[in-house]
Amino acid sequence: MTTERRKLIIDTDTASDDAVALLMALRDPSVEVIAITVVAGNVPLPQAVQNALYTVEFAGSTVPVYAGCAAPLTQKLHTAEVVHGQDGMGDIGLPIGGRTPAPGHAVDVLAELIEAHEPGELTLVTLGPLTNIGILLSRHPEYATRLREVVIMGGTGDGVGNITAAAEFNIWVDPEAAAILYQAGTKLTQVGWDISRKYATFTKEQADQVRRVGRLGKFAMDIQARVNEFALTGTKLVGFDLPDPIAMAVALDPSVATDMPFLNVVIELHGEHTRGATVVDHSGYTGRERNTHVVLEASRDRFVEMLERLLAD
């Protein structure tokens, strides 16, 4: 009996952690990545597109990459070169640039692909701000239930932000787009920055262990050069963290998530200090309808085993 490969679309603001998540999906034999759509976030759209194209080529893949939205729905773009480097890929001198994305705007391609597949056939994994997805679902609300599920790297399960005290970067860059997704009625799984901070940090020794699995492992760790510096001065974690890869790990194997209650999550749009926060109703006392599978705990061992296995070559 052949086990059907799940079909994935990945939406990304390709920088150093996104690139590792892309490699994981491209190397996992249990899934077929049918498209990569790019959105502005970590870096401006043109750079994110080039980073995605470089990563796909480095992986020896021909999966098409489509350019999407260059700015959030209602506010100006805030990028994160301070975290990922000017090129978003650690500023280690990679020959990035000069590659051509597939024709068509990402939002139009997402619609075409959803129309061309049966309901429940496509899984969407989002690794960046949700601008492309917000526009898609505002144009076609019915797509929310045509998708098998949406797994997002975004928000926080514990209210501890990484760009403000309360907000995580992907949601904070485009809260209006995030609100559209969280209200859309799709099967939504949230892997927040709390999960990255608690289960996906890498000390030098742990990074060297990944580096040793081969060419892809070395690339995956080398491009974290700027994030590593930022961790020492900014987030003050024990090492750099890999939010998109652990979110991708949950998408590839949900058993990586060891506690994932179904809760109500709303996006704060107006708070002076809390705009962009994912407000998680852990107790259920608000009575709001539950809409999100919120990962609250994960297995670092399962994540690292998957990361090293998929990057080994």
Residues near Ca ion (CB under 5 A): 13, 18, 127-128, 244
Nearest to ligand RIB of 41, 101 (CB atom): 41
Q: Which of these ranges, 69-77, 165-173, 221-229, 253-261, lies near ligand RIB under the rule CB under 6 A? A: 165-173
150 in contact with ligand RIB (CB under 6 A): no
Region of residue 93 (left: phi > 0; alpha: psi -120 to 50; beta: else): left
d(CA 64, CA 35): 5
The rounded distance, in Å, linking the Cα atoms of 144 and 43 is: 27
Closest to ligand RIB by CB, 78 or 117:
78
State the binding partner of 54 from Ca ion, ligand RIB, none, CB within 5 to 8 A by kind.
none
Does residue 157 bind ligand RIB (CB under 6 A)? no
Question: 97, 9, 32, 105: which is closest to 66 by C-alpha?
Answer: 105
On whether the CB atoms of residues 181 and 194 are closer than 8 A, the answer is no
> CA-CA distance, 153 to 171, in Å (whole number)?
9
Is 245 or 281 the residue whose CB approaches Ca ion more closely? 245
Work out how close the CB of 241 gets to ligand RIB at its nearest, in angstroms, rounded to a whole number: 8
From 11-19, 26-34, 44-52, 111-119, give the range in contact with ligand RIB by CB under 6 A.
11-19
User: C-alpha 246: how far from its chain's center?
Assistant: 9
Question: From the list Ca ion, ligand RIB, none, which binds 49 (C-beta under 5 to 8 Å, kind-based)?
Answer: none
Which has the closest alpha carbon to 278: 211, 137, 183? 183
Query: What token pair was written down for 243?
Result: 């939010």
- 177 vs 73: CA distance, rounded Å: 7
Q: Which is nearer to Ca ion, 13 or 241 (CB)?
A: 13
Query: By the criterion CB under 6 A, which residues form the site for ligand RIB?
Result: 13, 15, 17-18, 41-42, 127-128, 153, 162, 168-170, 193, 243-244
